[in-house]
Structure 1
């Protein structure tokens, strides 16, 4: 797939992976809708992009998952069409199950799962009418296997795989594509913004994240996977081997993760 003349909507576009995608895509002949909660930061991203006249800002909160229809309508009105939705917005977690209040699990599900599902369902009729569309959802390797300190995050990301696998099956007849992008460690502020057991932010960049792929390298590989229409893409360093271990050697994966001391 060529991105030329496509209208691409990116959530979580104010920083990290979303920001890197916006900057790279702005160099191509396409139009962008950039979304996150933070309008000021979105405008800063826009100022760093090429062809800003082809970029519009639409700020909203994924936590408002039951109010996505008017947001989708507003997005469509910007360029009268949307070809690709990149569901990149979300939040992570760093806390043990025993120390995590149920309100944190609820917030992770509301933002990472229900917010993404609500937005995608709101846009789905537009894709059906056009008999064309592409949902690209950034999950995580944690959507394929688990790791300590990420129980609620893993649950939300696993749920996304279940939902979007079914969406792909039900709407193949409508020429609607689904690509699930599963990052490993990427050098972003994801751990700094991660929720702890009481719902406060961790405010710390862990070593594994710091040593992860650069957002530029990740975005390049992600766009390649989207252009090829892949069902799933696992993008990272050696941690991606966990997907194969989970499938064929689950006990070995368990032992490997337990030895890794990843937090």
Structure 2
């Protein structure tokens, strides 16, 4: 672990900051990214490990690509955690279309763009891990979160397809589906008009602590679990009900191993 470098987006608070703390305790180097440089520095100051701060807005593709090259040049990247995101609390009938565009851009399109920018580095090395922080709401449609669900479902689809493509490359892909974790996710969620909600939910406030969620996530990654559900009670039951069977992951990976991609390319 001491030789690994972990790059985490959305690292200034919540699950991202907790993952940084837990991985730092396990001896890894940490790259922290997010929009707020001051808050990233606060997180870095609490880590007893070598750190690099790369602040940028995930929607700024030019800044993201520059940060990618800086992270690669610093120590390389062994594990990339696509954690940046924003939630929603509004009924679909009331929600402005711009809210859908903003949430899908932040939670899905920008995560794909960041992964695509880093992917050649990992493929060239022939090793690494990609970790996508989705949600139970990426497995089960949840009321008042239509935009958020659309983005998080999409993130899982991208990750699952990417995992199959990379199954012969030495790169592992993990999907994390947290339920209620005690963070500011509800407080920062968007209302129907795109304004910040500003208040939290009781379920979130009473949820799993961010530090406990981080421990569970990292333990599961170390066990090479491909789909990681971090939830309790009804949320855990819903996630398990919609869990993708490992046999299906293996079946799709076997298609790649048998030359499926080469055959598809040859038909073009």
With normalisation by structure 2, the TM-score equals 0.88
Distance 1:225 1:212 in 2: 19
Residue matched to 2:54: 58
CA shift, 1:71, in A, is 2.4
Residue matched to 1:91: 86
Q: How big is each residue's C-alpha offset from its partner over 1:107-164, in whole Å with a ceiling of 9 and x where there is no partner?
A: 0111000110000000000001000110001000011011110000000000001111
Distance 1:246 1:177 in 2: 21
User: Are 1:136 and 2:134 counterparts?
Assistant: no
User: Are 1:82 and 2:80 counterparts?
Assistant: no
Residue matched to 2:101: 106
CA shift, 1:195, in A, is 0.6
Residue matched to 2:12: 14
Q: How big is each residue's C-alpha offset from its partner over 1:12-64, in whole Å with a ceiling of 9 and x where there is no partner?
A: 1100111111111112221110000000000001111113xx10100011122
Residue matched to 2:2: 4
Runs (5+) with no aligned partner, structure 2? 244-268
CA RMSD of the aligned region, Å? 1.4
User: Are 1:211 and 2:209 counterparts?
Assistant: no
* SS, match of residue 30 in structure 2: strand
Distance 1:66 1:47 in 2: 27
CA shift, 1:199, in A, is 0.4
Distance 2:60 2:85 in 1: 13
Residue matched to 1:72: 68
User: Are 1:225 and 2:220 counterparts?
Assistant: yes
Distance 1:183 1:143 in 2: 9
Aligned with 1:157 (options 149, 152, 157): 152
Distance 2:61 2:86 in 1: 15
User: Are 1:200 and 2:195 counterparts?
Assistant: yes
> 1:165-176 alignment to 2 at 5 Å?
165-176=160-171
Residue matched to 1:243: 239
Q: How big is each residue's C-alpha offset from its partner over 1:203-233, in whole Å with a ceiling of 9 and x where there is no partner?
A: 0011010010011111110110111111101
Distance 2:240 2:15 in 1: 25
Distance 1:137 1:66 in 2: 21
Residue matched to 1:258: none
Aligned length: 243
Distance 1:240 1:11 in 2: 25
> Is the alpha carbon distance of 1:243 and 1:29 closer, same or farther for their aligned partners in structure 2, counting shifts above 3 Å?
closer
CA shift, 1:74, in A, is 1.5
Any conservation in 1 of the 2:56–2:63 contact (CA below 8 Å)? Answer: no
* SS, match of residue 182 in structure 2: coil
CA shift, 1:66, in A, is 6.3
Runs (5+) with no aligned partner, structure 1? 248-263
With normalisation by structure 1, the TM-score equals 0.89
